[in-house]
């Protein structure tokens, strides 16, 4: 069963989006940010060429509920190393972490790529071409589960 948050619930949630590292590919990330805003989420869009530290700083400053990292130039695996540890050091051990895009160089089996990012501490990893409604659905489910866990 799929959980859908109401626009009122989404309006209380803050998401940080951006393109990590030296990547300048902003179009997909901007489309995602606009779609998330249209669905009612508060979005802090950091844009392209965003260092890991800026994601963390923005999340702390806004008490964000999730960070969505994009990478399309194939270096996401390098750029995202240590990201979860940085979140923990900043007191964000429970923040929801998503990553998506063309995350690695060359053709690699998605299952292997996804496993590596999950092992790095990301809650979800999305392959190139993931549709925004799928991201919204998973955000709804994960943020609902997170809220239920906090309430228990």
- 78-97 pLDDT per residue, tens: 999 999 999 999 999 999 99
Please report whether residue 56 resides in a domain.
Answer: yes
- 14-33 pLDDT per residue, tens: 999 999 999 999 999 999 99
Is-contact 81 122, C-beta < 8 A?
no
Is-contact 46 82, C-beta < 8 A?
no
Neighbours of 3 (CB within 10 A): 13
Tell me if residue 23 is catalytic.
yes
- The per-residue pLDDT for 149 is 81
Please report whether residue 2 resides in a domain.
Answer: no
What's 128's domain CATH number? Answer: 3.40.50.280
**N residues, the chain:** 152
Active-site residue, from 23, 65, 79, 140? 23
The SS3 of residue 45 is strand
- 1-10 pLDDT per residue, tens: 578 999 999 9
Cα end-to-end span (Å), the chain: 21
Structural domain for 143, as ranges: 7-151
Say yes or no to pLDDT of 152 above 60: no
- 136-149 pLDDT per residue, tens: 999 999 999 998 88
Residues in CB range of 109: below 8 A, 6 or more apart:
none
Please report whether residue 53 resides in a domain.
Answer: yes
Please report whether residue 1 resides in a domain.
Answer: no
Tell me if residue 25 is catalytic.
yes
Active-site residue, from 25, 54, 142, 144? 25
- Total domains in the chain come to 1
């Amino acid at each position: 069963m799929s959980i859908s948050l109401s626009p009122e619930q989404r309006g209380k949630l803050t998401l940080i989006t951006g393109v990590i590292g030296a990547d300048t590919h902003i179009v997909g990330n901007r489309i995602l940010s606009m779609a998330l805003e249209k669905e009612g989420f508060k979005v802090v869009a950091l844009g392209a060429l965003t260092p890991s530290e800026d994601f963390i700083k923005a999340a702390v400053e806004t008490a964000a509920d999730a960070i969505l990292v994009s990478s399309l130039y194939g270096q996401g695996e390098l750029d995202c190393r240590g990201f979860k540890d940085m979140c923990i050091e900043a007191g964000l051990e429970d923040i929801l972490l998503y990553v998506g895009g063309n995350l690695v160089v060359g053709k690699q089996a998605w299952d292997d790529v996804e496993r590596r990012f999950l092992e790095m501490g990301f809650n979800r990893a999305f392959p190139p071409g993931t549709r925004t409604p799928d991201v919204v659905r998973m955000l709804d489910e994960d943020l609902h589960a997170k809220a239920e866990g906090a309430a228990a």
